[in-house]
Amino acid sequence: MGQVFEADDLVLNRRVAIKVPRSAAGNELLLAEARALAALNHRHLPVVYGAGVHGSIRFIVMELLHGISLEAHIEATYGRERPIPIGTALEMLATIADALRAIHEAGIVHRDVKPENVLLCGDRGPVLLDFGLVVPEFDLSKQVLYAGSPHYMAPEMIHQSARRGAGHLADLYSFGVLAYEMLTGIVPFNANNLETLLRLHVEAPVPDVRVTRPDVPAHVSALLIELMAKHPGERPQTSEDVVWRLRAACGRLNDNRGERGRVLIVSEDPAVVEAIEKQLRSVAIGVDVSVCLTGDDALEALEERRPQLMFIDLQLQGMTGVELLMHMHGSGVPWPEGVVALSDDARREDIELLRHLDVASVIPKGPRLDQSLAPIVRNVLAARN
């Protein structure tokens, strides 16, 4: 959707990337991309430093990223007939899904999720790129619906029938295609001409990934089939749900058979503890639950054994929940598979900080707590029993 050049920032003495449209007609799309990225702060999304206009051409200045595209990695790996290990693929997919979660929570739809738009950046991992087709959820008009790449295009995008506020579900369809390709080296639907390819997306049954790769776990295959469901309402309804399911799949690969799940609850609020324990009893059997009233007690519990899931009430006395998270990072205790923060009044800037502290989800306390807890407990723990 544009051209990217490497350049020197002479003021701050650093290398940067400058992105420009291929023509002045792309100025507005480039500005939309810059504004979308500037509103986000996520390790697996690129950072925008600034924007400007040179003559009649707009440009944006971004961080310079080094790596190879996921597309090139898939081609090289499967070209040598060495598939990407399932555990590695699931970890990468969970990371990409979390980047999607960040943009969807900001009310933005990417509309061009595909391996070409994911850059593998060494220790940083996958970075989701190219927001040239980005659009706010509230602005899904007929003029912008028919966009994206045909091999990854959701049926509702082909029919131009996506509902306002449901564009993120088309991103999840594209993500399902990307996941299938990561695990097999091929896309689920392919044809020699565009008309046939689009008809396959609309009409053909979703292939079971295990036909091509039998070692893929059944629950992962089921997730991919849901992601590529023809009707948006039959797909997972949030990218956060997908993140949790992928993290749970990663955990199941690493678990020893027969090991019970473990949950650590850090709260001095009896109502919070009771709500979490109620969900655990209703969904997961034989889970080892520990309750800590203070941050100090929680750090000791973490040193003894890593929990699969940890709930932290941010309104702790003494050491606050945020301080506990900082201590967890600094002390090097085993990090749980999933960390959930509970808060009465978390603001957007608070949530961004918590994301940087590797909190997987932030949910409000109060009457809707049970409803928020259910999918987390189900996705992380229920499948272990």
Q: Map out the domains of the chain as residue ranges.
A: 3-63, 68-253, 258-384
End-to-end CA distance of the chain: 47
pLDDT class of 381 with cuts at 50, 70, 90: low
Class of domain 258-384: alpha beta
Average pLDDT, the chain: 83
Q: What is the pLDDT of residues 289-298, one digit of tens each?
A: 999 999 989 9
pLDDT class of 255 with cuts at 50, 70, 90: low
130 belongs to the catalytic site = no
Cα(357)–Cα(361) distance, integer angstroms = 11
Q: What is the pLDDT of residues 77-116, one digit of tens each?
A: 888 878 888 988 999 999 999 999 988 888 888 888 999 9
* Inter-CA distances, 364 with 163, 207, 292, 312, Å: 28, 38, 20, 12
pLDDT class of 309 with cuts at 50, 70, 90: confident
- pLDDT value of position 259: 46
**Catalytic residue chosen out of the listed positions 98, 112, 241, 313:** 112
Domain spanning 68-253 has what CATH number? 1.10.510.10
Pick the more confident residue, 178 or 347. 178
Cα-trace Rg, the chain: 22
- pLDDT value of position 143: 42
The architecture (CATH level 2) of 3-63 comes to: 2-Layer Sandwich (3.30)
Region 13-19: what's the mean pLDDT?
Answer: 85
Query: Which one-letter amino acid corresponds to residue 322?
Result: V
- pLDDT value of position 189: 95
> pLDDT above 90 covers what percent of the chain?
35
pLDDT at residue 349 is higher than 80: no
User: Which ranges of the chain does DSSP label H, i.e. alpha helix?
Assistant: 27-38, 70-79, 86-105, 142-145, 155-158, 167-184, 194-203, 209-212, 218-227, 239-254, 270-283, 295-304, 321-331, 348-356, 369-381
